[in-house]
A and B are shown apart, each in its own frame.
Chain A
Amino acid sequence: MNKLPLLGDEAIAQGAIDAGITGIYAYPGTPSTEITEYILKSKEAKEGKVVASWTSNEKTAMEATMGVSYIGKRGMTCMKHVGLNVAADAFINSAITGANGGLMVVAADDPSMHSSQNEQDSRFFGNFAMIPILEPSNQQEAYDMVHYGYDLSEKFEIPVMMRITTRLAHSRAGVIRKEGRKQNELSLPKTASQFILLPANARRRYKALLGSQDAYVEASEKSSFNEYFDTEDKSLGIIACGIAHNYLIENYPDHKVPFPVLKIGQYPLPRKLMEKMYSECNEILVLEEGYPLVEESLRGYMNNGKPIHGRLDGALPRDGELNPTLVGKALGLSFYEGREPSSNVVGRPPSLCKGCPHIYSYNALNEALEKYAKGRVFSDIGCYTLGALEPFDAINTCVDMGASITMAKGAADTGLVPAVAVIGDSTFTHSGMTGLLDAVISKSPITVMILDNETTAMTGGQASNAWGKIEDICEGLGVEKEHIHVMNPIQKYHDDNMGIIQDELTYMGVSVIIPRRECLQTIASRIRSEKYIVKTATE
């Protein structure tokens, strides 16, 4: 059988195409970005007229996907873990409306924070919404679980979450495809009130959701993704969730674990299988990527049962991603742990590219702010967050998408004047616009710099919804025209740019400055693909 070498993300994308989705909506976010990118580039998806599109943010993506489900077709939305916070309102309520066409939400967590500001565990969100969750341990399962997830979603008429972590998202392995299936025909919900969450309907729908919980548990009991491997030696029982199962079996020759293992790939947890392990084994070890969700539920509040080992008792670290070495130590195994690291190695943090437009924006801003006390630049999520590092040392905050403008507003309203917000073009249309409206309404004395590199750069250059619209948006929100400036962030205009910023810092209302120059990476990749097009055209 022909195997495709796919990243975990790509396996999910190919799975979605083959499982007959009609629409996918997403906002880029590491490590989830490659799912939507793959479908955008897929010839098969194009031939099948699958609608794939980047949205302004994760909430609009989630809602658009609910629209796909409403008309009876299969929809997918994907996001990084913190993106689910943005989509949470729609996400939680989608469990109350339920699904019509199959609906899957992929949440890609980033334990160890390789490219994120926290390491929250999306399984808690799935539990919070009370919907089934799938957690693949490898690329093949990621592919297979998409088919299975849509079956589950359509059978129970409920959205299904798939939770992955960075390691699976960005690791490649051979995947065998299934036969593709057709997309659904248009068919509106059978019950007209299903999607109208007026309190009277919502109470009824919520009771129905509560009533379905036992059926979800039963589905988990029967699921082939929850497997119990029994052995004679009951001195220890091991529960291994998702990718942690790989790290477990890696530690034993031929992957044969000498203790009973319950491999978890579907939630809510399979109660009977958990009870079997708890009653038959003397001690339990829980291996899970992220927060100790299974471990906590096993221990209970009083923690007065059998010894349970995991992230809470120190058998494994409380934070960070797992690996075979950490799991091996938790199993009490001893092995060669490698040489001492060399003392001739220093850190090499990421940095802005040589010639990056952000460099010149920060140089101008830093000089304009020289006469003020430090600590007044509120920034945001993007490549420009690297402005926090030397040699720029230019920004003082980075919290969540859009927080630059709103934090600057709060600080300025209550006494820090001038206050500056630094935000990227894509982040601005993601979550900055509403905050800018707040600032206009209260005439907050802030200077907002929208660094426009005409792309969503940090995640690899996806189209930015802000493209060509920023001045109009700002004017439409009520920023005065004479306080909106566009500049070219380049060395030769440094003095002019610095002068404009300096002037606007003294204005006691909202000003917007837009340094605009295309990202060097997107220019380079455009030139590469143009060369390729010219070449193939002449061949």
Chain B
Amino acid sequence: MKKDIILAGVGGQGILSIAAIIGTAAMGAGLYLKQAEVHGMSQRGGEVHSNLRLSDKPVASDLIPKGYADMIIAVEPMEALRYVSMLGEEGWLITNSTPYVNIPNYPEHDDILKDIKLLPQHVIIDADNMAKDLGNKRAANMVILGAALPFLGMDVQLFHDAISSIFGRKGEDIVKLNTDALRAGYEFAVNANK
């Protein structure tokens, strides 16, 4: 088993929390893991991404080779599109539909969605609104992670455990919010692909 995942978004959108949850779940499953993050100046409202590699055999490179990723998980649609050349032929793209517009030349939203829909395997999810309905927009990243779970091939319980261990110190309400968000995303993706 190997899963190579590109996490993409804009600085401050919480892709490192997604990485931390997947990482904790993977270690719980006894998998090998490497996760390359971006720190420093690029965090200030710029594009950020992370390479996350899970495998039942030792992982060599911290970086995923081009055209080799099994999945892109993006909290922003244009950022999802930025890494399509990293994706394998049969790879999945899971993305939030809500754009984050902080540049004057942001492309047409419809053009972005059109290009995403050209990919054979994709999930586009309105995570911001789903998280808002659950009580807090900030849980959008967990909705997106939930939408990726049906295609990760790992026990979903591992992710619930990871959320409890990572958000536990912030209190039960936060754990519940994130768990609900994860479940909502999961159900959306399962239904969308029936």
Contact = CB atoms under 8 A, between A and B. Distances in A.
Contacts of A7: 37
A173 B67 CA distance: 23
A172 B33 contact: yes
Interface in A161-212: 167-168, 170-174
A246 B23 CA distance: 20
Nearest to A390: B104
Given A114-B40, A173-B59, A174-B27, A325 B65 contact: yes
B37 A170 contact: yes
A526 interface: no
Contacts of B106: 346
A305 interface: no
A535 B36 contact: no
A339 interface: yes
Instruction: Pick the most buried of B65, B87, B108: most chain A CB atoms within 10 A of its CB.
Output: B65
Contact of A246 (B42, B62, B67, B111): B62
A351 interface: yes
A31 B57 CA distance: 28
B10 A336 contact: no
A88 interface: no
B171 interface: yes
Given A171-B37, A172-B23, A115 B66 contact: no
B194 interface: no
Contacts of A341: 82, 84-85
A520 B24 CA distance: 30
Contacts of B82: 341-342, 345
B160 to A, nearest CB: 19
Given A171-B35, A174-B32, A348-B103, A338 B67 contact: yes
A183 B47 CA distance: 43
B42 A115 contact: yes
A53 B119 CA distance: 50
Nearest to A349: B46
A250 B27 CA distance: 21
Contact of B45 (A171, A339, A353, A460): A353
B41 A170 contact: no
A327 B5 CA distance: 21
A17 interface: no
B63 interface: yes
B33 A173 contact: yes
B175 interface: no
B187 interface: no
Contact of B41 (A30, A337, A345): A30
Interface string A226-243: 000000000000000001
B1 interface: no
A34 B67 contact: no
Nearest to B100: A348
A323 B61 contact: yes
Given A5-B33, A337-B66, A341-B85, A386 B60 contact: no
A345 B81 CA distance: 7
Given A344-B78, A345-B81, A31 B40 contact: yes
Contacts of A458: 40-41
B115 interface: yes
Contact of B102 (A5, A168, A351): A351
Interface in A347-363: 347-353
B105 interface: yes
Interface in B1-55: 10-11, 23-24, 27, 32-47, 51
B123 interface: no
A421 to B, nearest CB: 21
A47 interface: no
Interface of A: 3, 5, 7, 30-31, 33-34, 114-115, 167-168, 170-174, 243, 246-247, 249-251, 254-255, 323-325, 328, 335-342, 344-353, 383, 386, 458-460, 532, 535-536
15 contacts: A30-B41, A31-B39, A171-B36, A172-B23, A243-B62, A247-B61, A324-B63, A325-B66, A336-B89, A337-B85, A339-B85, A344-B108, A344-B111, A350-B45, A386-B41
Given A3-B27, A346-B78, A352-B45, 16 more contacts: A5-B33, A170-B38, A172-B33, A173-B35, A173-B62, A323-B63, A323-B66, A324-B63, A328-B65, A340-B85, A350-B45, A351-B45, A351-B102, A383-B44, A459-B40, A535-B171
Interface of B: 10-11, 23-24, 27, 32-47, 51, 57-68, 78-79, 81-82, 84-89, 102-103, 105-108, 111-112, 114-115, 169-171
Q: Which 4 pairs between the two chains have the least Cβ-Cβ distance?
A: A338-B67, A350-B46, A30-B40, A115-B40
